């Protein structure tokens, strides 16, 4: 395999089950991913949503870090304009104390919610979004770079003091995040599952504008990119496409401004699609990374090559939690990940 493989989890709420079940499914899947050889387990941030339960990814990071042994655990991402940079740095330094050398701090600029909710989280969210690069600089400073001369909080220490630091990523679905990541010499992940249009150009912009910082801990000497994609597999191609019906209907809802729980396959099969709705979904279905394991593996490899991506983070919302776990297990096998037997102490 020519790309690293990871999991992105939004803690999707499924129809007929509550948000508490979504969180428990996240915790269970993370433990399995640790055994199956996935490189990273990333948690998303959403607020005021009937679709996603992951409103506090930093708490899930801590819970998963404490119950896994090998996999890197992080966020995709913390929506930085909602928060004080010092608090974010301290949260992830605590996570580093829980799982030294295994924590990723992915940060983004998008609200992860509607404007009213963003205002409820931080009445100055719009101004903070405009200052996103400064916030990134402050987080890096408190994680170990140090704050510059003249900074009003230069003497403030982020605790706890630990010997390791999180790996910081910039996340985005436009060229803005790519440029920020390139400027700071940080790894970048493009959210292809949100909007794939122009994704290859965004990744090229990141590589072309990259500024190496080999002298600073946590920065890169060369660009390192990932893409986050939706993908789904099953024992047969037909079964994978049957399971995809849930996501397909939810995608239609999303594209028309609705964010309900993920419908079941039965609900999707009973939905009275109009001709216009079917026409809207046709190109989405044509591009979907769905099929038998070897088909999805080949599609992922092509995606990585086209985008110059060293890693792929796979998002697999699936109404049936067992089918979701099966999809990730089959994908790990198809991509040649090395399963890791439980440690003797476990």
Closest by alpha carbon to 105, among 94, 92, 122, 96? 92
DSSP 194-221: T--TTHHHHHHHHHHH----TTSTT--S
Residue 194 lies in a domain: yes
pLDDT band at 1; cut points 50, 70, 90: low
Provide the pLDDT for residue 249.
97
54 forms bridges with which residues in the sheet?
A: none
Render pLDDT for 199-233 as a digit per residue (tens, 0 to 9).
999 999 999 999 998 778 889 999 999 999 999 99
Residue 54 lies in a domain: yes
Provide the pLDDT for residue 103.
98
pLDDT band at 256; cut points 50, 70, 90: very high
Number of domains in the chain: 1
CA distance 271 to 252: 11
Question: Rounded to the nearest 5°, which phi and psi values hold at 253?
Answer: -60, -45
Residue 254 lies in a domain: no
Residue 184 lies in a domain: yes
Provide the pLDDT for residue 343.
46
pLDDT band at 297; cut points 50, 70, 90: very high
Provide the pLDDT for residue 2.
87
Torsion, CA 158, CA 141, CA 216, CA 187, rounded to 10: 100
Provide the pLDDT for residue 224.
97
Are 228 and 188 contacting, i.e. CB atoms less than 8 angstroms apart?
A: no
**Quick check: 115 pLDDT over 90?**
no
Are 44 and 76 contacting, i.e. CB atoms less than 8 angstroms apart?
A: yes
Query: Which of the two residues, 345 and 73, has the higher pLDDT score?
Result: 73
CA distance 222 to 207: 8
Sign of CA dihedral 177, 179, 183, 185: positive
Closest by alpha carbon to 40, among 105, 91, 89, 87? 105
Residue 285 lies in a domain: no
Closest by alpha carbon to 90, among 157, 137, 181? 157
Strands 78-79 and 103-108, bridge-based pairing = parallel
CA distance 181 to 169: 8
Are 103 and 96 contacting, i.e. CB atoms less than 8 angstroms apart?
A: yes
Provide the pLDDT for residue 214.
76
Residue 35 lies in a domain: yes
Considering the chain, what is the average pLDDT of its residues? 95
Q: What CATH number corresponds to the domain at position 306?
A: 3.20.20.30
Provide the pLDDT for residue 114.
86
Residue 269 lies in a domain: no
CA distance 44 to 285: 24
**Quick check: 67 pLDDT over 60?**
yes
Structure tokens at 145: 């770079």
**Quick check: 340 pLDDT over 50?**
yes
- How many alpha carbons lie under 13 Å from residue 35 in its C-beta half-sphere? 12
Question: Rounded to the nearest 5°, which phi and psi values hold at 74?
Answer: -165, -165
Residue with tokens 């991506």: 309
Residue 216 lies in a domain: yes
Average pLDDT for 110-125: 88
Provide the pLDDT for residue 344.
38
pLDDT band at 126; cut points 50, 70, 90: confident
- Domain of residue 202, residue span: 4-236+290-334
């Amino acid at each position: 395999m020519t790309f690293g493989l990871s999991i992105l989890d939004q803690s999707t709420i499924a129809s007929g089950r509550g948000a508490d079940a979504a969180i428990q499914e996240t915790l269970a899947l993370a433990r399995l991913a640790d055994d199956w050889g996935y490189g990273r387990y990333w948690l998303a941030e959403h607020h005021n949503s009937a679709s996603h339960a992951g409103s506090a990814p930093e708490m899930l990071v801590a819970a998963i870090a404490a119950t896994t042994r090998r996999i890197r655990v992080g966020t995709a991402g913390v929506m930085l304009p909602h928060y004080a940079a010092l608090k974010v740095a301290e949260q992830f330094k605590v996570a580093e104390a829980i799982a030294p050398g295994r924590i990723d701090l992915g940060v983004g600029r998008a609200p992860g919610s509607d404007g009213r909710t963003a205002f409820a989280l931080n009445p100055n969210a719009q101004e903070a979004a405009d200052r996103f690069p400064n916030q990134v600089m402050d987080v890096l400073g408190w994680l170990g770079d140090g704050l510059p001369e003249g900074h009003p909080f230069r003497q403030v220490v982020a605790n706890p003091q630990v010997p390791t630091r999180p790996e910081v990523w910039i996340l985005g679905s436009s060229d803005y995040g790519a440029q920020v990541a390139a400027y700071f010499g940080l790894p970048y992940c493009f959210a292809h599952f949100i909007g794939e249009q122009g994704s290859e150009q965004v990744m090229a912009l990141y590589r072309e504008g990259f500024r190496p910082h080999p002298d600073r801990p946590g920065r890169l000497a060369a660009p390192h990119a990932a893409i986050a994609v939706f993908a789904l597999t099953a024992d047969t191609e037909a079964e994978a496409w049957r399971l995809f019906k849930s996501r397909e209907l939810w995608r239609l809802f999303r594209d028309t401004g609705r964010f309900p729980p993920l419908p079941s396959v039965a609900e999707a099969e009973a939905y009275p699609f109009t001709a216009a709705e079917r026409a809207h979904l046709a190109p989405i279905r044509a591009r979907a990374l769905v099929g038998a394991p070897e088909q999805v593996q080949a599609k992922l490899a092509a995606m990585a090559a086209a985008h110059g991506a060293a890693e792929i983070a796979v998002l697999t919302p699936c109404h049936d939690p067992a089918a979701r776990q099966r999809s990730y297990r089959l994908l790990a096998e198809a991509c040649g990940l090395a399963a890791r037997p439980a440690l003797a102490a476990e």
